[in-house]
Every structure is written in C-alpha cells, then in structure tokens.
Amino acid sequence: MFVLLALHLVVGTAAIASGRQLGRWAFALAASAPAATLIWLLTQAGDVVDGSPAVARFEWVDQLGLALDLVLDGFALLMVSIVSGIGLLICVYAIAYFAPHDPAGDDTETEAHHPRAVGRLAGMMTLFAGAMLGIVLSDHLIALFVFWELTSITSYLLIGNDDTNPRARAAALQAILITGMGGLALLAGLIIIGQAGGTYRITELVADPPTGSIVNAGLICVLVGAFTKSAQAPFSSWLPGAMVAPTPVSAYLHSATMVKAGVYLVARFAPLFAIAGSWRVLVLTVGSATMLIGGLRALRQTDLKLLLAYGTVSQLGFMMLLLGTGLDHIALAGVVLLLAHAAFKATLFMIVGIIDHETGTRDVRRLHGFGPRWRVTQFCAVIAAASMAGVPLLFGFISKELALEGYLEHGDVTGAAVVLIVIVAASVLTFAYSARFVLGMFGVLAAPDADPTDIALTRDAHAPGWLFLAPAASLTALTLAFGLVPQSLDQFVDAALGALHPSAETVHLHLWNGFTGAFVLSSIVILGGVLLTVFRRPVAAAQRSGAAALRFVPTADRSFNALLRWTGVTARRVTATVQNGSLPIYVSVIVLVATVVPLIAFVGDFDGFPQLVESPVHVALVGAMVGAALAASIVRRRIAGALMLGAVGYLMAGLYVTQGAPDLALTQFAIETLSTVLFVLVLRHLPSSWSHRAPAIAAPMRVGVSLAVGATIFVFALVASGARDNVAGPQQSEVMIDSSLPKGKGHNVVNVILVDFRGWDTLGEITVLLVAAAGAVSLARTGRRRGDGGPTLEELLDELEPATDVDGAVDRELDDLDVEVPR
C-alpha cells in the first residue's frame, strides 16, 4: 500500500515536471497510478470480501511509538475502487478534453489549455488521488487528518490552476478558507477523541469507543470538519464556486471523491458514536437542510455545470442522512448510493465537459439541440440523469428504494418521519433538476429569439470522438448493468457494510422488491417530479418570488463575505492600535514589561545593601559616570547623547579594572568602542537633533519609564549579588579557579569558563549573534527597499466577492430575463 502511495507521489511529480513536453498526454502518464492501484485492488479484493482486511505498517519513530498503519477493509475497498476507478476514467477523458481543437467562442479556458498548466493539472490530480487513498486507507486519526488537509491543498491548487483568472483564484481561496477552517475543527475533534479513547488507531477505537461529554464536544468538531469538506449547509457555497475549475477536476474532486471524504468520515464514526450526544440531531438536521437547499437551487440554474454542482450538494446531504444514522439498514442504502452517485454524476459532468468543449457554452438558453451524431452522448446523458432521478431499472433507483425502505421500516430514530418526508420532497426536486438537465441538453429550454449562428453552434457541433466519450459510456454501462443485475454487487456491498456494521445482515440487492411502501413512495417521487417538470414555468416563478421575499435573509455566501470583511477590518484596527509605528512606544512597552514584572519578585528577596564604597577611586569613577549619564539624557544632539553613553561604558570598564577583572574591562572597552561607532552609523539616517514637534509620549512618561527601568536594574544588581551566596554556594568561584589549569589547561579562568566549562552557553550565544546579524541586515535592507509587498487583504476580498456570489448573480439574471420560454 505504501508503494501505491509513493507511486502517486512520483507519478504526480513527474507529470508536473514534464508538463511542458507532454502537454495533455501527461494524463496518460497520470493514468498509470490509478491503473496500478486497480490492479493491486483486484489481487486483494478476494481476501477483503471474505472478511480479512489487508494491513500494512510502517514503523516511523519506534521510540515514540509513531507508526503509520494502513488498513484495506471492505468499506475502504469500495472507496478505493471509486477513487481509482473514476480516476482512471477521468485521466482518459482529460486527454481528449484538453485536445487543442476548440471551436470559436471558447475563450474561457485558453489559458488553462497551456501545456504546462495541463501538465500541472494532471500531476496535481494524481497527487490528490494519492492523498484521497491515504484518507480512506489510514488507520490512524492523525494520518487521516494529514491526508485530509493534503486533499484540501491539492483541491485549492486545482481550482486555482488557471492562475490568470481572478474568478478561479477567488473560488480557490474561498474553498480553502472554508475547508481549512473545517480542517482545524476536525483536528481538534480528532485529538479530543484520540485522547479520550487512549488510542488514535481507528480499529482500536472501533473495538472500544470512548464516551462522555468531552467526546461529544470532539464529535461536534469532527462533524464541522466533515460538513465543510462535504459542502453541507451552511458551508456549501465553496462547491458551486469551485466549478470554475476545468471539468475533469470538477468531475473527479468535486463530485466523485473529495467531497465524499466528509461522508466517509461520518460513515466510519456513525456506528460508534451515533447514539452519543447530539450526533444524530446534527447530522439529520444538516443533511436534510442540505438536501433540500441543494435541490431547490439546482432547479434554478441555467448553467448545466452549476446545476450539477448544486445537485451534488443535495446528494451529499442525502448521503449524510443515510450514512450518518449509524443504523445498518439505512447505511446499506448509503453504501449503494456512494457507488451509484459516483457512476451517474461523473458521467453527467463528463457530458457537460463534452458540450462545453464542442460548443463553448454550458448555458441551457444557448443550447438548441444537437445533430444526429450526438445520439450516443445523449443516450448516456439520459440514462445517467434518469439514474440520478431514481427511475426504475437503473442503479440510482436501487439506492433510493433502499433508502426509503430503510427509513420506513427500520428508522427507529427521533424524527425519522420528518427525514423521510424530506427525502421524498428532495427526491422530487432531484427528479425535476435531472429532467431540467435533459431538457436543457435537448434544447427545450433554449431562448427562442436566438440568432442563427447561435443555433448553428449546437446544431452543427462537432460530435465527440470515441476517446472523449468512452469513459462516460462505460460508466453508463455500469449504471445500466448494476441497475438490472444488482445481485452482482452483493458480496462487494456486503463487505463494505460489514466493515462499518459487523452485525449487519447479509446483503441481498434486488431489482424488484414487490409492492412495498418504498415502491409507493418512489412512485410518488416520480409523479411529483413529472408534475414539477411539466409545470416548470409556474414553479420557476414561484421560486423567484420566494427568493425575492427571502432576500433579507443572509445567504451563506453573503455571510461568508461579511465575516471575511469584518475579520479584515478588525485586524486592521487592532494592528493600528497595537502597532502604531512609534518606536518610543514600542521600546517603552518592551522595557516596562521586562522590568516591572521581575521587579515585584526582586523586592521580596532584597536583604540589605552591601558595602558600597571600597576605595576613593570608586567615588571618582561613579561620579563621572553619573555625570555622563545625566548629560546623555539632556543633550540636544543625538550624536552627543551616543558619545555620552559611550563614556558611561568606558567608565564602567574602569570600575572593572579597579576590581581586578581585566578580561571584563577589556571586553567592555571593545564593545563600547564598536557600539559607539555603530550608533554613529545608524544616527546618520536620523535627524541630528531630537524632534520636539510631536512627541509620541509625553516627557513625564519618558522620565517615568526610565526611572522604573533604572530602579529595577539597581534592585536586580543588589539582589543578584546577595543571592549568589545562597544559590551557587560561596565555593563555586573557587572551584572554577582551582580547576581551571588542571581541567581546562588554561591560566585565564574567564576564558576557560567561556570556551570549556560553559562552552555550550558560548555556542548558543554566537548562534544568537548570527541570527541577530541576519535580522539586522534584512531589517536594514527592508528599510531601503520600499513598495509592493503583494496584494492586501482588501484587494483579495474585492476579488473574492463578485466571484463567490454565484447565487446572487443568478438571481439578478433571472430578474432580468424570463428563462422558461416555451418554443
């Protein structure tokens, strides 16, 4: 398994590096990674389905007990087949998608078709696939988190791959802000759960799940992380924004795999924690809201890709409702839905990409129906959309039937009836937007007064080549096959469900379950969907007036932007207050904190004055020092002040000499000389006299601060000299002097201390010197170089706002135009 992860890393890096040479064929290189994974999967599948998971362990730091564990159980097997299976198909698809032939009018992605950008895309998608495999295979919570964040980062880079497009940059930023925020919550939650459970191994947590109120808090954090990743309300706004990415990315990351990471995590945890605390309430509420909102919004889109994006949001809510309950019968429906959704949604995205590629538009108002050579494409689209809608004989129907049956007959949770109604209502919406997709593709929704060239654009559009269509066609074949013969999946689904719920009954999927309650509900769904489609004009009008009436309610997009703005404004205010650019205030704050706080501690240890004067020389030296210090504080010119400070230092060196410390004196002398010179160097950049125009802090305050510092140092010196006897013992200095020659081989005890006895300290000090020198140099260089330091937060926000307000833009457009005009 580690080999496979490493393979993704190598292939991804190679694809990025060779992008310029390979261009779109970098995807052929990228395809090798999922292909290898699938082959390996086939060798393992037999054992895993029989109930013995494949495990791999990599000892990293043995002493700390750090190891990376990967486990391929039944559920991971299902997820890996989705990740690698769809990944392989997407790679094939992308080779054709990035083909240079583009009809006129497609100016949106020319930059993204640049060979290097395409190679980067291929490599990033491979890296992403590796990270995604890591999520589903990790048996360690922290490893899972690391892979989780890696998918967020690769997703950010993939959305923003076309880095000349401000909308792409803004959408990428929004996506990583939301998922990153969720990632932090997830980390907190995982740590809480890991600490409470005493282990970070998922398999061990499954054996003995922790309980308690702290675990509940951790679970809420985990759910927030899962909700942001899987675009649940109110965190869903990044997913439609992410549709600016090229279609292969949208089809792979933002419908089939990455957005399912949150669902995956919820599915793993639900059997253990669903009964605890507020898990079920949260999952069911959020899942219901997401499913409904996504469906309602999807119904209003004119852009086919956005329609699919909101449809994905809705379906993700559905999955949460199914996999988050922790009940095995309902989870069964969720497992099947995971597979069915991967098949039909990837197909639909690929078809949107084909339409976009061949006509240059995805707007239903500009699609006027395609020529006869598009039959196969249209067939695939109809089958996939029908599967999404839940039409019988297709794969999607099986999962929807299981879901309804699960909630009808086994839904012994609070609010199961409400959830059932939500599922039925949202399924009606799903049918309606699926129908809208098909109608849009057949040109039923086209604007009537279009000019002939526009009509010709789709009528005479070049039909997609076999390579372009093959991936979508093969997924359509799967949708049909598994819809007609669901029994073929029995073992596979059973293994996946068994990994989540070991006690679940053996799975038997049926095409036809008889006239059960679920079938009645399915019929209601289809009937309602047909009605919504037939009466689509009044429905659209009602939706518009409803949206207008609710306009005062802040949408998630607007709240998100408002929050960002508020953060920026607050940060700027705080910075303006705390970092006001006044050096005197900075210095005052630093020295006051550094002196006043220890002063309180010093005063307690103060025990009397030592003998103050030992010889008349002291009086003369100290008198001169006091004079120089006073002079330094009252002279007008800076340079004079610096010289006076130097004088204080030299006199101090004199004091050392009288006390018999030539080494100290020598050092002090040299330091004073150099620092005076450096003072002069710096002072050249400042006015020669102190300015009295606008003192940042008043003179009394300056005096006060100086006195406080002076007093502290005074007390500190007294206490330190008194404390030496208590702490180190009076013999310490004698010990060092005595051992200087025999142990340190030197007569100069000061030097022996520096290079030998306390050599570590010296080594540390010269390291600090080096760091300080680097800091001072870069500071001086920054001061000389002025100007651009990258975009400010405000500029970023201005860029972000129009791009993320997808829904607002749709509202405005719908106000201007009557979309639904019959032909």
Partner 1 sequence: MSTQAPTSGPQRLVILDQSIKVLYQSILVLSLYFLFAGHNLPGGGFVGGLTAGAAVSLRYVSGGAMAVRTAFRLPSHIVLGLGLLVSAGTALIPVVLGGAVLEHGDREVGLPIFGDVKFVSALAFDIGVYLVVVGLVLMAFAAFGDDLGPIESTAPPEPPDGTGREAS
Q: Site residues (CB under 8 A) for partner 1?
A: 580-584, 662-663, 666-667, 670-671, 673-674, 677-678, 680-682, 684-688, 691, 694-696, 744-748, 750-752, 754-756, 759-760, 762-763, 766-767, 769-770, 772-774, 776-777, 779-781, 783
If 0-12 CB within 10 Å is exposed, 13-18 middle and 19+ buried, where does residue 788 land? exposed
| Nearer residue to partner 1 within complex by CB, 567 or 673 | 673
Q: Please compute, for residue 317, the number of CA atoms within 13 A of its CA located in the half-sphere on the CB side.
A: 30
We find the least distance from the C-beta atom of residue 791 to partner 1, in angstroms, to be: 23
We find the least distance from the C-beta atom of residue 768 to partner 1, in angstroms, to be: 10
**H helices of 234-368, where?**
238-241, 247-251, 260-273, 279-298, 304-323, 328-359
We find the least distance from the C-beta atom of residue 657 to partner 1, in angstroms, to be: 11
- Which one, of 224, 323, 340, 346, lies nearest residue 274 by Cα? 323
We find the least distance from the C-beta atom of residue 164 to partner 1, in angstroms, to be: 35
Per DSSP, the three-state class of 209 is coil
| Nearer residue to partner 1 within complex by CB, 410 or 758 | 758
| Nearer residue to partner 1 within complex by CB, 487 or 751 | 751
Rounded Cα gap, residues 444 and 431, in angstroms: 17
Rounded Cα gap, residues 449 and 685, in angstroms: 72
| Nearer residue to partner 1 within complex by CB, 695 or 710 | 695
Token output for 490? 């029995």
| Nearer residue to partner 1 within complex by CB, 510 or 572 | 572
| Contact (Cβ atoms closer than 8 angstroms) between residue 199 and residue 227 | no
| Nearer residue to partner 1 within complex by CB, 581 or 730 | 581
Rounded Cα gap, residues 211 and 150, in angstroms: 30
| Nearer residue to partner 1 within complex by CB, 559 or 688 | 688
Rounded Cα gap, residues 458 and 195, in angstroms: 59
We find the least distance from the C-beta atom of residue 637 to partner 1, in angstroms, to be: 13
Rounded Cα gap, residues 254 and 261, in angstroms: 11
| Contact (Cβ atoms closer than 8 angstroms) between residue 584 and residue 702 | yes
| Nearer residue to partner 1 within complex by CB, 421 or 703 | 703
We find the least distance from the C-beta atom of residue 568 to partner 1, in angstroms, to be: 23
We find the least distance from the C-beta atom of residue 739 to partner 1, in angstroms, to be: 13
| Nearer residue to partner 1 within complex by CB, 408 or 591 | 591
| Cα 819-305-78 angle, rounded to 5 deg | 140
| Nearer residue to partner 1 within complex by CB, 680 or 715 | 680
| Contact (Cβ atoms closer than 8 angstroms) between residue 427 and residue 545 | no
**Is residue 576 within a helix (H) or strand (E), and if so which, with residue range?**
helix 556-578
We find the least distance from the C-beta atom of residue 685 to partner 1, in angstroms, to be: 5
Would you call the peptide bond into 234 cis, given omega within 30 degrees of 0 as the criterion? yes
| Nearer residue to partner 1 within complex by CB, 773 or 821 | 773
Termini Cα distance of the chain: 57
We find the least distance from the C-beta atom of residue 729 to partner 1, in angstroms, to be: 24
We find the least distance from the C-beta atom of residue 135 to partner 1, in angstroms, to be: 42
We find the least distance from the C-beta atom of residue 633 to partner 1, in angstroms, to be: 17
| Contact (Cβ atoms closer than 8 angstroms) between residue 189 and residue 221 | yes
| Contact (Cβ atoms closer than 8 angstroms) between residue 408 and residue 355 | no
| Nearer residue to partner 1 within complex by CB, 414 or 582 | 582
Rounded Cα gap, residues 693 and 688, in angstroms: 14
We find the least distance from the C-beta atom of residue 762 to partner 1, in angstroms, to be: 6
Token output for 149? 């964040």
| Nearer residue to partner 1 within complex by CB, 688 or 726 | 688
| Nearer residue to partner 1 within complex by CB, 656 or 716 | 656
| Cα 683-688-694 angle, rounded to 5 deg | 105
Rounded Cα gap, residues 317 and 269, in angstroms: 17
If 0-12 CB within 10 Å is exposed, 13-18 middle and 19+ buried, where does residue 198 land? exposed
Residue with tokens 């998918």: 151
| Nearer residue to partner 1 within complex by CB, 685 or 823 | 685
Q: How many residues does the chain have?
A: 823
| Nearer residue to partner 1 within complex by CB, 414 or 658 | 658
CB atoms within 10 A of CB 627: 14
Rounded Cα gap, residues 337 and 405, in angstroms: 14
If 0-12 CB within 10 Å is exposed, 13-18 middle and 19+ buried, where does residue 38 land? middle
| Contact (Cβ atoms closer than 8 angstroms) between residue 149 and residue 143 | no
Q: What φ, ψ does residue 689 adopt, rounded to 5°? A: -115, 160
CB atoms within 10 A of CB 704: 14
We find the least distance from the C-beta atom of residue 784 to partner 1, in angstroms, to be: 8
Token output for 221? 């954090």
We find the least distance from the C-beta atom of residue 708 to partner 1, in angstroms, to be: 20
- Which one, of 503, 487, 474, 528, lies nearest residue 336 by Cα? 487
We find the least distance from the C-beta atom of residue 717 to partner 1, in angstroms, to be: 22
We find the least distance from the C-beta atom of residue 578 to partner 1, in angstroms, to be: 15
